[in-house]
Amino acid sequence: MQVKAVVQLHLHSLESRGIRPVTLEKCEWELKQFVADFGEQEIKEVTFSALITWMRDLRKRDGTRYAHASLAGISKGIRSCFKFAEEEGYIVGNVSRKLPRYNYKPVHRQIASEEDIITILNALPAFIEHRGRDVRDLRDALIVSFAINTGTRLRNIKELERKAVLSALEHPSLVYTSHGVDNIYHVYTEGKGDKMLELRFSEATAELFREYFHRTKASNPTYAFVTNNVLANPIGKATANSAFQRVCEFAGTPIWLSHSIRKANVMAILDTGADIKTASEYVQHSDPQVTLVHYVYSNQRRVDEAALNMMEKRYAEAAVQSQMDNFFKRSP
């Protein structure tokens, strides 16, 4: 059977499972170029060598579109398609199993400083008020507040559904802290690979959601965050990034985007004394090793602090040893 026919059957199979349209579109994108280049070929004749060479050439064709993260997605889409073909009996043996499942090379994104995040949080009320609580300013402040609370990815912000947030607002959880009793809200949304994510946000962010939803309820949108000119349309990537840019410029900090804040949240959780497993569960990685490699070991500040602590400890122990040696030398 030809590759294009198998891919079409695979996508129909995914659709019949009831996955969300946005996830189906993502799967189609992951397999689009594969079909364009291999579509007429028999799937049982596709070799591992041909697959890996083709994937390496993708970046040379278009280094912007097929960046590291996109190549990882394409690899995942191909493996899923070949697994389907094997299960349905179209192939015997799955050559895509040998494709790299995950690149453990750290993704070099800067981490937002804790001082800047606090400055941004403090600036949000003034940012909302500076043009009379304009709905765009309210939305952008809410996007940033939600990102700081949850540490979620940009795509989850864009695809967050209004009904999921409304459900969360109706069912807060009480948490006892050193400062007293606080509300925390749990909202569920779809993450990578159809995995459901549980995101947590505070009462301050909940208040912004209530006001924003009240002011946009006339259009009855599907998504939580909508464009300013057509209140029924979901925001795009550029609009979401613009929210971070506008708020950070107003606060007088460097422009920190969602992933920099996500990394900062992991570091802040670890600094409270939590273990790596807790931090990994917070960002909902599939394995704590992913958190270690991409968030902790790639954090230059944390490595510098560890090295400095090691050196200070050794010098302190050396000083104690020197004092002990001098004491015993003076003893009769």
Which of 79-93, 268-282, 287-301 is modeled with the greatest confidence? 79-93
How far is residue 115's CA from residue 296's CA, in Å, rounded to a whole number? 19
- Residues 226, 236: contact at Cβ < 8 Å? no
CATH of 3-98, one of 3.30.420.40, 2.60.40.10, 1.10.150.130, 3.30.450.70: 1.10.150.130
Burial 9-21 (b: 16+ CB within 10 A, else e): bbbeebeeeeeee
How far is residue 318's CA from residue 320's CA, in Å, rounded to a whole number? 5
How far is residue 95's CA from residue 31's CA, in Å, rounded to a whole number? 16
Query: Which residue would you say has higher pLDDT here, 192 or 166?
Result: 166
Q: 229: pLDDT confidence band, cut at 50, 70 and 90?
A: confident
Place of tokens 């109706």: 170
Q: What is the mean pLDDT of the chain?
A: 85
Q: 330: pLDDT confidence band, cut at 50, 70 and 90?
A: low
User: Which one-letter amino acid corresponds to residue 32?
Assistant: K
Backbone angles phi, psi at 18, to 5 degrees: 85, 25
Q: 312: pLDDT confidence band, cut at 50, 70 and 90?
A: confident
Backbone angles phi, psi at 255, to 5 degrees: -80, 110
Query: Looking at the predicted structure, is the pLDDT value of residue 67 above 70?
Result: no
Triad 101, 107, 112: Cα angle to 5°: 140
SS3 sequence of 253-321: CCCCCHHHHHHHHHHHHHHCCCCHHHHHHHHCCCCHHHHHHHHHCCCHHHHHHHHHHHHHHHHHHHHHH
Query: Looking at the predicted structure, is the pLDDT value of residue 68 above 50?
Result: no
Q: 71: pLDDT confidence band, cut at 50, 70 and 90?
A: low
For residue 73, what pLDDT is reported?
Answer: 65
Least confident of 124-128, 290-294, 326-330: 326-330
The class level of CATH for 114-296 reads: mainly alpha
Question: Which residues of the chain form CATH 1.10.443.10?
Answer: 114-296
Triad 73, 74, 75: Cα angle to 5°: 90
How far is residue 269's CA from residue 181's CA, in Å, rounded to a whole number? 20
pLDDT in tens, 20-42: 887 788 788 778 888 999 999 99
Least confident of 249-263, 265-279, 308-322: 308-322
Query: Looking at the predicted structure, is the pLDDT value of residue 250 above 90?
Result: yes
What's the pTM value of the predicted model, to 2 decimals? 0.62
For residue 127, what pLDDT is reported?
Answer: 96
Q: What is the mean pLDDT of residues 206-223?
A: 93
Query: Looking at the predicted structure, is the pLDDT value of residue 105 above 60?
Result: no
Q: What is the mean pLDDT of residues 283-296?
A: 81
Which ranges constitute the DSSP H helices of the chain? 3-16, 21-38, 48-61, 68-87, 114-129, 135-150, 154-159, 162-170, 203-216, 237-251, 258-271, 276-283, 288-291, 300-330
Q: What is the mean pLDDT of residues 194-210?
A: 90
How far is residue 146's CA from residue 135's CA, in Å, rounded to a whole number? 16
For residue 99, what pLDDT is reported?
Answer: 76
For residue 202, what pLDDT is reported?
Answer: 93
- The answer for residues whose C-beta is within 8 angstroms of residue 168's C-beta and 6 or more apart is 185, 186, 187, 188, 201
Triad 231, 233, 238: Cα angle to 5°: 105
Q: What is the DSSP letter of 198?
A: E
Query: Looking at the predicted structure, is the pLDDT value of residue 72 above 90?
Result: no
How much of the chain exceeds pLDDT 90, in percent? 43
Question: Which residues of the chain form CATH 1.10.150.130?
Answer: 3-98
Q: On the CB side of 329, how many CA atoms lie within 13 Å of its CA?
A: 6
User: Which one-letter amino acid corresponds to residue 157?
Assistant: I
